[in-house]
Structure 1
Amino acid sequence: ERERDWSMGGRTISRGCLPLLTYVTMLVLATGYAHAADSLVSGGSLKVGETLVSQGGAFELGFFSPGGSSSRYLGIWYKKIPVQTVVWVANREKPITDGSGELTIDEEGNLILLNGRGSPFLLASSPAATALVALLLDTGNFVLADKNNRSRILWQSFDNPTDTLLPGMRLGWKGRRNRLLTSWRSIDDPSSGDFEFGLDRGRIARLSIWQMGATSWTTGIWNGQHFGDAPELSLLGPIQFQFVPSDVQLYYTYSPGMDLTTIARFVMDVSGNAKFLAWVESRQQWLVFWSQPRGYPCDCGDNGLCNNGSEPPCSCLRGFRPDYSTEWQAGRWSRGCVRRSELDCGMGDGFLPLKRVKLPLTLFSSAVFNDSRLGIADCSALCKKNCSCTAYASVDKQGTGCFLWFGDLKGIQENYGDVQDLYVRLASSDLVADVPVQRTKKLLPILLPAVAASLILIACASTCCWWRSKSKDQGDEMNNHELLLLEIGPEGSQKYQDFSLLNFADVVAATGNFSDENKLGQGGFGPVYKGTFPDGQEIAVKRLSRRSTQGLEEFKTEILLIARLQHRNLVRLLGCCIKGEERMLIYEYMPNKSLDFFLFDPGRAAQLDWGMRFHIIEGIAQGLLYLHKHSRLRIIHRDLKASNILLDGELNPKISDFGLARIFSTNNSEANTNRVAGTYGYMSPEYAMEGLFSVKSDVFSFGVLLLEIVTSKRNPASFHFTGSLNLLGHAWKLWNEGRELELMDPSLGDSCPVGQVSRCIHVALMCVQDAAADRPITSDIVSMLGSENASLPAPKKPAFFIGRQMADEGIPASCSINLMTVSAIDAR
């Protein structure tokens, strides 16, 4: 039979070709809809040109190349918005550069990205082998879940934000992890930029913007209803914002409110602005409804008062005058105001109440005491005790808690939506300057005796100060504690953000009134107790005894240093408690106590196999490297020893006790002190004998500690070795005889990697060399410990030997001298 011809668009197709055409058409359609679903199952893959679309069609996931970039990224964007708006990037730091790209769930349950060479980039992994599904939800959340129970989410993109906060996402703390927004590097480069936005790193209830780690803007503290300097974030049009300060999590989130059709997003953009945007369908564009930081409606500078309803909008606070009167008259108010009269605490400074004003900015020079038991009278007393305090207010509108400001005041406004009462410190002359003459005359009979009494009190106070400087009585110490409380306050709330002042009653309750059952140990500073707060958080309380050798300066040093340091191998300071003569430091609780608890007890030492010991060695080295090189400060610990290495539940080491630590200038190689304090047996010779300390002093201590970890023997007490040598001398002797492995704790057995043990002993001997210049720096120590094949230089003779005379004098092997002032040590 003759084939019938079919015409298509002017072309003739024979009937015999129809089956082939139908097959090809179906194949094309099948390919086009292969990934029109919202999920990817185990064994499946998503390649370039294919996408997942959420069930309601709101979001799409696939590979994209931003702008003119040739790199490929896996991202999520809005499906129905014509302008591609990316809200999440999976591989922002690992772009695919070979033009390919594939997303898959491998047979081990890992969600991975593959490039053209098959090199994997891990996005998420499943804790258990099970059937998995990767699902794109209509919220924009990309989740890895159990295929048979999709409500069991194992991983989600909402916990790993990039630069965008979508409705329902939580910005803030989840456990110990702070979920932040990080800007793109540029509009064509999704890699991490210089700006971050999120909840305060110190768990203080405020949002902040950081530029390269430095705070550039903050919302002010949450006052129970909204943020002090950004009240609009509690309600912005139809969008409902919410701040949740719970015991388990501390986060900020928002939802569309009643208008579920609103498409909104919160972005930390490349210019350093945090923006809230909404899509306006009629205009087919994104509109900015809120952006910070921005210029204030009227910038009246320092100590100025802004009122948009008046003309001019700026005036100086009472007691202040324009700093530059000509500019002020020309309408340029940003130079602000200065005091008419200098403050003088001894001459009766007082406080001027400003009713119903927007409080000053809290970004600079402020402190917060967020204690509901503090009233406005307590705030006044706290501010009066510190001459640097320039203003105070309650934290919330219920009149509880205290804000203190130090220095100039900026951002005070009248006729503002959110107002509270502010009390500004003024000189006594400015407080009465505007009082009517008749009223002043009436006050003279009161004021003159008061001034005379003040002069007498000043004379008495001067005499008392002279006497107290000689006697150092208890009253002086109590006053020091009060000053310390104020000194810690502003630093603790701004520079040292991971820090709180705790109430004495709460600490007493948490520790069971410092019961013996909760006592963890005893040191030269005093006892340590375990405590538990009502929310279940466990703490360790270091309670300084009255006889403690750790004085006020060491106590303050520990607070101001450790609260600025954050590393997985440094103990975390939660806060402190000061009441009268009581001084307490509150740390995270370490369930496995300290390293010496295990090392120097034969039964417990056997629980530490070599793998655990080497893990501890590496952790201590990493913590020390952070202190010496990678932290914002350069810190010399000066008291590194086994009892100052705490162990968490997984035996991760945490360096603790920073009371003797010193900030060290990067321009200096060593410093000198007249007061040598530390622990005998761990101190380097140049420090013990000459008071010279440097990073090499800590290196020496690390070397001693490394030998102790290998041997389970304490250096100061090791007088029983052959020839009455201490641990260093004994290790040196065995090393020279080629018998260094005899140093190993016998409980380690024969299963240890002898090469690794020998290398640790070698590194330890290099650390304890007599001359500081011969010792390695910390970065070299980390490198030497982690490199199995690198050759190491031969060590020179270690610093200290304990002579036969000391051993013959009958000093028991268990003796240990802690935190002693060394006047003479036999050394060679």
Structure 2
Amino acid sequence: MELFGKMGRLPAALLSLFFILTSRISPSIVGDTLTPTQPLADGQELISTGKRFALGFFSPIKTNNRYVGIWYKISPPTVVWVANRQHPISKCNGSLSITANGTLIITDQNSKTIWSSGSSGLANPVAQLLDDGNFIVKEANAPVSFAWQSSDYPSDTLLPGMKLGWNLKSGLNRNVTSWTSPSDPAPGPYTMGVDLHGNPQIILWEGSSQLWRVGPWNGKILTGIPDILHYKIFILDFVIKNDEVFYMYNTTSTSFITRLTVNYTGFVQRLVWLDDSKMWSSYMSEPKDQCDYVSQCGAYGVCNTNDSPMCSCLQGFKPRSPTNWDLRDWRDGCKRMTKLDCRNGTDGFVMMKNVKLPDTSRSTVDRRMGLNECRATCLRNCSCMAYASADINGTGCIIWTTELTDIRVYSFGGQDLNVRLAVADLGPGLHHSHSHTMVGILVGSVLGILLFASVGICVWIQRRRRRGAIPFASRRNNECKEGKDWELPLFDLGTIIAATNNFSIENKLGRGGFGTVYKGKLGEEQEIAVKRLSKTSAQGTDEFMNEVTLIAKLQHRNLVRLLGCCTQEEEKMLVYEYMPNKSLDAFLFDKDKAVLLDWQTRYNIIEGIAQGLLYLHRDSRLRIIHRDLKASNILLDKDMNPKISDFGLARIFRGDETMLLNTQRVVGTYGYMSPEYAMYGAFSVKSDVFSFGVLVLEIISGKKNGRDFISEHEENLLAHAWGLWTEGNGLELVDESLNNSISMTEALNFIKIGLLCVQESPKDRPKMSSVVLMLGSKNASLPDPKHPKFFPTRTSSEIKSSKSKTDSSYRMHSISRIRRRVSSDGVNS
């Protein structure tokens, strides 16, 4: 149902009734069975024996189209299967019936057939909805066998007991395909299914391109999801037979309500229903990080999210294009340092542990062969690049005779991979002959002596530095490379000057607290953005090094990508990937540009920011509080995808997500600061949640918190939003430029999520994991938000005087009035 511009103020109760009616899921029940003499009309539903599932007609949000579907009988209902995905009925006069030969048909108001299951050739057919969500066609008196079943034709959901994969006799391929959008169940761009080539594996496709590879089954787990080992409530199986190949899961108890779904944004989610809170909890969401996306590091490259940079070459390999590699463009992959010597039989193997096995689509498999025989077979084949066990117990043999792609390393789980190398590239103890081993030992000894000497020299240099014997300037050019476990390309000043046309005014993109940002170009194609620290900037060396240290270790599609830095002479510059659409505030708070942000774009931006924050708070290697999340720090790529930027004020936290840290120095931007941080210097991940809530309300309203509210009764956006919400008029907050493009249900849901995030007490605010779940759960029943804190209160005279000031000067004036308290916990800020 669309939002019309002239709807005006509607009471909250009337709005609730309005939304219930749009779903049109009727309580009229006709049992669990359909017969040729008893069709199912729109407004009626079948209920399974255990009242677990229902089948009938429904309308998705934001549309009047009617579909026949199956849904979990919970409140609110969750649709898990749709019959006429591509052929909706425009009016509520449709009918589902079964013919005398066992064919299910859906007809519209003109009795025209718009969907059919195909003939079953039965004599006395009935259709029955089972308590596992399967809708079957069978002979009336046959309890087990059936001629057709809905589970052979999944929509976007795989339920317990359903098969994902192939019936090789009939050629039936059971795929799970996303909806196009929340309002359109037609097949979308994302499909998950079983690839039969080589060693069978589950793949998530976007169109015809592989997006995520789940990895092959090793007898216990799918190697691309090592977390499966912790799925205590699930029983998983992957069956490979002559007549069928499929994946299936069940639960340890039938009391669990769960589903595995491919959502319209391209994520595979395993969800469990929490009856107490009446919402779906995300048990798993994939792809979960950048290494999950297919072949991020190219051929013979290894992806590891715990490393920075995340890509490295296999032992015995080096980057195919060192220049691109330094710029973190790893698509070209790696090449061998030394050619294999198959004829003389001197090649060997190096074992990699805890890896996601390379793409097995071009591998060969022998499930009868043992691991020792597998190794010998690989050595005899001059084309063999690697081998591994097909089963974690050591049976079966997988051999790769083509390039090894899409390898990643885990801290636990995964499998052993044996990579073939020339003898010169094998480490000590891995060579074939005694002489080679002795050479390795001697080389290792020499290297050990050199390393010991190097450490001694480093210690001496550090002591001399502390005494002032070595000037600080002598190490400044290496600031980008000082970290122990991270390293960034160090750009030469001349390269940056050439790329930005000597920092010309034509290349200037904008200016912030850090300094000026310039557009540049490396070579013919690589566009960059250069942040140049101003000598008068309040953000100095500490913030510069903080950003370099943190963002070098972060890899996520919703975080801006740092390519390198330059600290030559007196300069301090950061080199980023270029974002052609600049920052979110440039669109959001400009009336002419705001029309380019339709509802779907704003929806995607909110969801992307949430995913980026969740990565920072929970999934990244460091766990980070951003502390300066705002519209100007959200950059937009060419497709308007959001990327969080500016980590100069970010801090690493160690402990649980409710832990409060304190600082003597309050930094950030007025309007986005949480009250506990601005007043007392106390911050936690919930401080970022507060900032996110402000952003959500800004994105929905198109108004800036603090700037666009100058009346005595509406001191900021939070007060305005809260007032409308408590009056039952939350929809009035929506930006006028959205006109009819917005869903009322989604808009109210997002406004409520925004208000939940800006509640006064940090303990009341949801964690980002819960926020992501709320954003993705279209029918979730959310708790009511509590009163947010509006501060600092400004008098009418302050409001009037502030109108003539810039945002930045007003911000500095306001922050200077905020009380600060110093904690003794020693957190630097």
The TM-score bracket by the shorter chain reads: 0.5 to 0.7
After superposition, the C-alpha distances for 1:599-625 in whole angstroms (9 at most, x for unaligned) are 111111122222222221121112112
For 1:567 and 1:460, how far apart are their aligned partners in 2? Answer: 37
CA distance in 1, matches of 2:501, 2:804: 36
Question: Given residue 711 of structure 1, which amino acid in structure 2 is its aligned partner?
Answer: S
Displacement of 1:574: 1.8
Map of 1:264 onto structure 2: 383
User: Does 1:462 find its partner at 2:467?
Assistant: yes
> Structure 2 counterpart of 1:100, which letter?
N
Matching residue of 1:591:
580
Is residue 566 of structure 2 the alignment partner of residue 577 of structure 1?
yes
Aligned to 1:343: 456
Shift of 1:294: 10
- Matched position secondary structure for 1:513: coil
**CA distance in 1: counterparts of 2:635 and 2:761, whole angstroms:** 29
Cα separation, 2, equivalents of 1:292 and 1:182 = 27
Q: 1:825 aligns with which of 811, 818, 821?
A: 818
Correspondence for 1:685 among 650, 675, 678 = 675
**2:746–2:778 Cα contact (<8 Å) kept:** no
Per the alignment, in what secondary structure is the counterpart of residue 232 of structure 1?
A: coil
Residue equivalent to 1:308: 435
**Residue from 193, 215, 218 that aligns with 1:186:** 218
Q: Is the 8 A contact 1:540 1:587 kept in 2?
A: yes
What CA deviation, in whole Å up to 9, does each residue of 1:544-600 have, x standing for no partner?
111222222222222232232222211122222221221211212111111000111
Q: 1:720 maps to which residue?
A: 710
> 1:485 deviation in Å?
3.4
Aligned to 1:519: 508
String of CA shifts for 1:65-120, please: whole Å, max 9, x gaps: xxxxxxxxxxxxxxxxxxxxxxxxxx9xx99579824797xxxxxxxx624xxxx3
**Is the CA contact 1:298–1:308 (under 8 Å) kept in the aligned structure 2?**
no
Residue pair 1:634, 1:666 contacting (<8 A) in 2 also? no
Deviation at 1:236, TM superposition (A): 5.3
Partner of 2:338: 232
2:759 paired with 1:769: yes
Corresponding residue number in structure 1 for 2:651: 662
The worse-fitting range, judged by mean Cα deviation, of 638-647 and 789-798 is 789-798
Q: Give runs of aligned pairs for residues 430-441 of structure 1, distance below 5 A.
A: none
Q: Give the partner amino acid of 1:691.
A: G
CA distance in 1: counterparts of 2:675 and 2:418, whole angstroms:
65
Point out where structure 2 has 5 or more consecutive residues left out of the alignment: 1-157, 181-188, 201-208, 228-289, 323-331, 348-358, 363-379, 403-416, 821-829
Counterpart AA for 2:795:
R
Contact 1:180 1:198 in 2 (8 A): yes
* Aligned residue type for 1:670: L
Partner of 1:737: 727
Q: CA deviation at 1:643?
A: 0.2
Change (3 A) 1:315 1:228: farther
Pick the aligned partner of 1:100 from 141, 145, 167.
Answer: 167
Letter paired with 2:456: L
* 1:604 aligned counterpart, secondary structure: helix
- Of structures 1 and 2, the one scoring higher in RCO (CA 8 A, sep 6+) is 2
Q: 1:356-380 deviations in whole A, cap 9, x for unaligned?
A: xxxxxxxxxxxxxxxxxxxxxxxxx
Please name the residue that 2:526 is paired with: 537
CA distance in structure 2 between the partners assigned to 1:262 and 1:316 by the alignment = 31
The offset of 1:682, in angstroms, is 0.6
1:239-274 CA-partner distances (Å, limit 9, x unpaired): 9x9xxxxxxxxx9xx9xxxxxx97734345249999
Query: Which residue is equivalent to 2:544?
Result: 555
Greater C-alpha Rg? 1
Match of 2:788 among 786, 797, 803: 797
How many angstroms apart in 2 are the aligned matches of 1:343 and 1:826? Answer: 49
Helix, strand or coil for the counterpart of 2:695? helix
Structure 1: distance between partners of 2:342 and 2:514: 53
| Distance in 2, Cα, partners of 1:719 & 1:733 | 13
| Cα separation, partners in 2 of 1:307 and 1:343, compared to 1, 3 Å | farther
- For residue 733 of structure 1, give the secondary structure of its aligned residue in structure 2: helix
Change (3 A) 1:792 1:523: same
Alpha-carbon distance in structure 2 between the residues aligned to 1:193 and 1:208: 16
> Comparing 814-823 with 730-739, which one deviates more in the overlay?
814-823
Give the conservation status (yes or no) of the 8 Å contact 2:429–2:437: no
- 1:554-703 matches, within 5 Å, as 554-667=543-656, 669-703=659-693
| SS of alignment partner, residue 509 of structure 2 | strand
Structure 2 residue aligned with 1:50: none
The aligned counterpart of 1:72 is: none
Q: What is the CA-CA distance between 1:716 and the residue it aligns to?
A: 3.1
Shift of 1:745: 2.1
Contact map agreement 1:618 1:782 (CA 8 A) in 2: yes
> Equivalent of 1:788, from 771, 776, 779?
779
User: What are the within-5 Å matches in structure 2 for residues 212-223 of structure 1?
Assistant: 218-219=315-316, 221-222=318-319
Deviation at 1:508, TM superposition (A): 1.8
Contact 2:316 / 2:425 at 8 angstroms: preserved in 1? no
- Please show how residues 44-193 of structure 1 align to structure 2 within 5 Å: 96=163, 100-101=167-168, 114-115=173-174, 120-121=175-176, 184-186=216-218, 192=224
1:487 to 465, 479, 482: 482
Structure-2 separation of matches of 1:620 and 1:672: 25
Deviation at 1:719, TM superposition (A): 4.0
Q: Quote how far apart the aligned CAs of 1:693 are.
A: 0.9
Counterpart Cα distance in 2 of 1:573 and 1:824: 35
Of all paired residues, the percent bearing the same amino acid is 38
What is the match of residue 291 of structure 1? Answer: 420
Residue 684 of structure 1 and its aligned partner are, at CA, apart by: 0.7
With normalisation by structure 2, the TM-score equals 0.52
Deviation at 1:807, TM superposition (A): 2.8
1:712 alignment partner AA: G
Shift of 1:122: 6.3
The 3 A distance-change label for structure 1 pair 98 and 597 is closer
CA deviations over 1:397-452 (Å, ceiling 9, x no partner)? xxxxxxxxxxxxxxxxxxxxxxxxxxxxxxxxxxxxxxxxxxxxxxxxxxxxxxxx
Paired residues in the alignment total 520
**In 2, are the aligned partners of 1:162 and 1:181 still within 8 Å (CA)?**
no
Change in 2 beyond 3 A, CA 1:300/1:779: closer
The letter of the residue matching 1:816 is D
Shift of 1:696: 0.5
Answer yes or no: is the 8 Å Cα contact 2:317–2:337 preserved in 1. no
Cα distance change of structure 1 residues 507 and 164 upon mapping to structure 2, 3 Å threshold: farther
Pair 1:210–1:544, CA change in 2 (3 A): closer
Matched, 1:707 2:820: no
Matched letter for residue 318 of structure 2: I
Aligned amino acid, residue 692 of structure 1: A
TM-score (norm 1): 0.52
For residues 184 and 520 of structure 1, do their structure 2 counterparts lie closer, same or farther at Cα, with a shift above 3 Å needed?
Answer: same
Letter of the 1:797 partner, please give it: P
> Does the 8 A contact of 2:680 with 2:819 survive in 1?
no
Structure 2 counterpart of 1:807, from 778, 798, 822: 798
Distance 2:723 2:529 in 1: 41
Counterpart CA distance in 2 for 1:522 and 1:295 is 53
Q: Secondary structure at the match of 2:747?
A: helix
Question: CA separation in 2, counterparts of 1:188 and 1:464?
Answer: 60
